[in-house]
Structure 1
Amino acid sequence: MSKNRDGGSSQPAEANRNTQSMSGPSDMPSMPYGQMRDQALRNRSIHTQLMEIVLSLRQTVEDNITQLMTRHQPQDLALEKQRHNQAVRDKVAFLGHLMFQMLHYLQSGATGDRSFQLPDTSMDSRVDVRGGQQAQSSRQICQTFYQRSDFEDTLISYDLYNRGIDISALYHSSFQDYTYQGNKYHKDENTLGYINLGTSEKKICIDLLAERLTRTDMLYIDEDLLQYPDWRGQPFLRKEVARFLTSDCKAPAHLDPENVVVLNGCSSVFSALAMVLCDPGEAFLVPTPSYGGFIFSTHLYAKVELVPVHLESQVTEASSYPFQLTVDKLEQALLGAKIEGKKVRGLVLINHQNPLGDIYSQDSVMEYLEFAKKYNLHVIIDEIYMLSVFDEAIPFHSVLSLESLPDPNKTHVIWGTSKGFGISGFRFGTLYTRNREVASAVSSFGYVHSISGVTQYKLCQLLQDREWVDNVYLPIYCFRLEAHRYITDKLKVLKIPFLNRGCGLYVWINLKQYLDPCTFEEELLLHCCFLDNKLILSRGKTFVLNQPGWFRLIFAARPLLLRSAIQRFHQVLVEQGQDWGVKQLEDAKEEVSTSQPAAPASLTLRKS
């Protein structure tokens, strides 16, 4: 926890930090980010795209059937009928949209356009000469589909132009697993529902937060709290955030509340930074695997590209531990981007890293900052997991703890309460930057991304109660993160390699042995097998990993739910092992039959 962050290198160089050494070169070429739709659509095979769409179609149909079979009390019928009709309209619209995508992908495959290049969305297709033919083709396909169908009330793609179609497709491809919301696991009411170990949420301290957030000091309301808030964040909250970060980040001097900006979530902060630090088409460097939400956030408004700095899972001379980030790799990625004509404006880091769980040492952070200064790059450091260190032997050093920064005017820190406090529903994210121009520009997004005054008041009360935070909440939180030991013990029994880290809410696991062949298509099929067993994990492709077979598993859940999840997880692996064994046997029989010489003619006649 934050109480044990002083001294020592936190780089996991020691061999005993890892349960097993990670190996196995990728059979996929390095994948450039390109525009967001390049990442989400263009660089995937038509086969993979169709499987993902069919998965969404299937889940949507299942959810609709579940809803239709749900019984309601007579007094709820009128309201339920209204809700049902709206839900049906929404699902039909979504099905129509997915079918349109399938037609588009199939046409791309049929015409040999394996790259599947969507129309340019940087300008309105009606006035963009360069993308005019592509845009017209896209809309013609869409119009043809709806003319030949009965979905006259679901003209989603027909009514949307390129930008809307692109955003809608990106949203559904990025968040298709969120359909589980209508069929969640419950230990009493729905034991067959989905168990979500894919979304990084902490659900082990809800009782503590519920008790604290219902105390009388949280129930205060006045006129100001019910009006439009300060777009930068209420002054009382910004002051408390500066004080909290000064203490927990061990800042050498008091942080200035004027350098704090508050928005509704860290993704909003990141999206705003992308808007104000880059022009459309420009780029950030991002070490991968990395949090996939960055991709959606940068593309949604800013049309900013993310250039991956691919990290290797193998230990080599250049990498003393798996997925190690070095300045040499940053240099190579930056040079590659320049060769491709991309303008890189900044470097994005997560400390500690998501999904790996690595914590950067002070020396490493300084090396990355020096690299950025050398090339005149901004550095965005996301420290949202800083309260989630449960191994006292691992020190965490915030960038705000450094006595001096190579370029303080271009160093920007993001933090929020979604992970450490487990209140993602509060939608709180904050930016700390010494650059007043950047702070002012990001503040303008408070016009559409601010938090309610009542919520800001509750957050202020929570953060300033250091007695409760330090002596009640954090110790219990740290103790309950021992669920990590339960999960890792199970993984050891199952002989599944994983990165053994003492922080975070997740474990990065290697399931390559269950892929045959080891491809992203097989990774998706394994992901679907987990979904068939109502278990949600996050697969490596969503973290822009260029090697198939890796998954992120969230362990910050209640014991009963974790036990049920592990049972489902094990069942899938058993089934996969059986399928693999049958396949190997069939392949062996086929090899034997094809290798035997043909029978002599006389022998054939004699048998007949």
Structure 2
Amino acid sequence: MTEHLFLSEKGKKASSTLARVDLDVYFEALENRYHPVDNPSGALPMSVAENQLCWDNLKQKFQQITRKQDIPDWVASYGDAAGVASFREAIASFFSEFLFGCPVNPESLACFGGATGVIEMTAFLLANPGDTAVIPAPSYPVYTGDLGVIPGVKRYDLHTHHELEEIQNEISISLEKLEKTKNEIEAQGSRFKLLILTSPDNPTGMIYSEAQLRSIADWCIAEEIHLIVNEIYGLSRFNLDHPQLRESYPDPIPFYSFGKLMHEYQSPLLHHWYSFSKDFGISGFRIGVIHSHNSGLIQGSRNAGLSHSISNYTQWVVQEMLSDHDFLEEFFQKHTHRLTEAFLTVKKAMDEVGTPIQPAYGSLFAWVDFSAFLKEESHEGETDLWLEIFEKTGVLLTPTDGFGHSKKGLFRLVITSLSPNELKLAMERLQEFFKNKK
């Protein structure tokens, strides 16, 4: 065993710890990917949060930009580590027009290589090693590594529900729960330093109401805790007026962007995360954004974030796309339609086999309860069901290990990683599997 020779303790841990527990199975699925002619029995991966719905539109737009425009000279030179001025101006205009609904100062933005870079840099600059970030659970498993590997910040899962019925109207989080959590963390010798919310949420697809965000923001400011709202799925919202969805949302909550509240409060303790990987489906472009009225955080990002800088060529192409608001308007109309149809495909299939599914507001996911099919309610039972589904159907779901959920048997289905025909096929395979299980 020589693979750990000459590594630091952190290096040894990184060398032996996968970023995700399902990576090996995911790569296996990719090697046996479904094709309607060449491999009709192949795998249909629905585990990684990629959005394939509108790449055809974006690809055409990017090709048009690079064909018709000369590459500016500044692309070949060094630029601002937090994003060149014209790029941040384009993002500020995009936020203002499409997400926040209020003015945005480009100087309040810092841009880095993907959501991971943003999370890591924010935690590094706002918290000390050993401090704690509280995250309503279930939530994104890789937060653990993004917060912990380099910043050294601990993750605390604050359970919001056990059964799906507990979050039918909104995510269950109260000031009493937050206060109790703060006391527990302090009793363990740590500090409750960061509170991270995601809206729409991963994996539940739920959102936080304006009243919730105001109440939580007021509490965090009073307690001097940094509140971060991740709106990485902020424009991936379902059309709740669709005739086949309307009855599932008798009293829907309006989406309220945290950026609008930040504009009102102007607090150095409130922060916003965004990435272009989900709403736009360009995860490979690696673009993440911190928005904050804390000038120290933005300047610190600029000074310490060189290793997370985005290539100037990427910034140029994306800023040109963002500057065309007519294109963006049409793009998001198509995206909302295709996203809603994808969610309906999954919802109909799950309803037909009597499997509970969360009536989500948005995101790229369906949060589904398969607990009735567990051989035993344990981590092992959950893993066995996950692998059995993959082995017998070729459909790879996201395992719940790392989500921090208290109940076993709930799984995340990425509804945007397949074409419409592939998604229908995946649902047919799952329906047959669960009918046989019954």
TM-score for both structures, normalised by structure 1 = 0.66
Q: Is the 8 A contact 1:309 1:333 kept in 2?
A: yes
Query: For each residue in 1:416-454, what CA deviation from the matched residue of structure 2 results, as whole angstroms up to 9, or x when unmatched?
Result: 211111111111111111111101112234411111111
Partners of 2:237 and 2:406 in 1: CA distance: 28
Closer/same/farther in 2, CA of residues 502 and 346 from structure 1, 3 Å limit: closer
Which residue identity is paired with 2:152? K
The count of residues paired between Structure 1 and Structure 2 equals 421
Deviates more, 1:412-421 or 1:530-539: 530-539
1:351 correspondence with 2:210? no
1:384 aligns with 2:242: no
Aligned to 1:67: none
Q: Hey, what's the Cα distance between the residues in 1 that align with 2:436 and 2:164?
A: 31
Residues 311-340 of structure 1, C-alpha deviations (whole Å, 9 max, x = no match): 223489x97757512222222211111111
Q: Secondary structure at the match of 1:541?
A: coil
Q: How does 1:76-155 map to 2 (within 5 A)?
A: 146=1, 155=2
- Residues in 1 aligned to 2:188 and 2:378: alpha-carbon distance in whole angstroms: 27
Per-residue CA distance 1:26-50 (angstroms, 9 max, x = gap):
xxxxxxxxxxxxxxxxxxxxxxxxx
Q: Distance in 2 between matches of 1:251 and 1:563?
A: 36
Select the residue among 413, 429, 433 that pairs with 1:568. Answer: 429
Residue 223 (1) aligns with residue 82 (2):
no
Give 1:539's match in structure 2, choosing from 387, 390, 399: 399
Contact 1:251 1:402 in 2 (8 A): no
1:247 paired residue among 97, 104, 107:
97
Contact 1:250 1:400 in 2 (8 A): yes
Residues 574 and 164 (structure 1 numbering): CA distance in 2 closer, same or farther, change over 3 Å? farther
- 2:247 is matched with none
Q: Do residues 325 (structure 1) and 173 (structure 2) align? A: yes
Q: CA deviation at 1:381?
A: 1.0
In the alignment, what sits opposite 1:515? 374
Match of 2:362 among 488, 503, 512: 503
Would you say 1:450 and 2:300 are equivalent positions?
Answer: no
Any conservation in 2 of the 1:357–1:504 contact (CA below 8 Å)?
Answer: yes
| Aligned amino acid, residue 350 of structure 1 | T
Partner residue in 2 for 1:592 = none
- Bigger shift: 514-523 or 163-172? 163-172
CA distance in 2, matches of 1:280, 1:452: 30
1:333-344 to structure 2, matched below 5 A, reads 333-344=181-192
Q: Which residue of 2 aligns with 1:549?
A: 409
Within-5 A mapping of 1:247-266: 247-252=97-102, 254-266=103-115
Matched, 1:274 2:155: no
Is the CA contact 1:201–1:419 (under 8 Å) kept in the aligned structure 2?
A: yes
What amino acid is aligned across from residue 208 of structure 1 in structure 2? N
Three-state SS of the structure 1 residue aligned to 2:279 is coil
Change (3 A) 1:343 1:524: same
Q: CA deviation at 1:160?
A: 3.2
Q: Is the 8 A contact 2:163 2:407 kept in 1?
A: no
Matches within 5 A, 1:196-215: 196-215=45-64
Q: Which segments of 5 or more consecutive residues in structure 1 lack a partner in the other structure?
A: 1-145, 147-154, 578-608
Aligned runs of 1:374-413 on 2, under 5 Å?
A: 374-392=222-240, 395-402=254-261, 408-413=267-272
Equivalent pairs: percent with the same residue? 24
Alignment of 1:364-375 (within 5 A): 364-375=212-223
Contact 1:315–1:322, Cα closer than 8 Å, also in 2: no
Does 1:362 pair with 2:210?
yes
Matched, 1:294 2:143: yes
TM-aligned CA distance change 1:290 to 1:212, over 3 Å: same
Q: Deviations over 1:492-521 (max 9, x none)?
A: 001000101232211100011001221111
Would you say the 8 A contact 2:350–2:356 is kept in 1?
Answer: yes
Quick one: distance in 1 between partners of 2:79 and 2:301? 15
How far is 1:251 from its partner?
Answer: 4.0
For 1:549 and 1:197, locate their aligned partners in 2 and report how far apart those are by CA, in whole Å: 16
Residues 240 and 464 in structure 1, CA contact (< 8 A), matched pair in contact too:
yes
Q: Is the 8 A contact 1:313 1:323 kept in 2?
A: no
Change (3 A) 1:366 1:353: same
Aligned-residue offset at 1:413: 0.5
Unaligned runs of 5+ in 2: 242-251
Question: Cα RMSD over matched residues?
Answer: 2.2
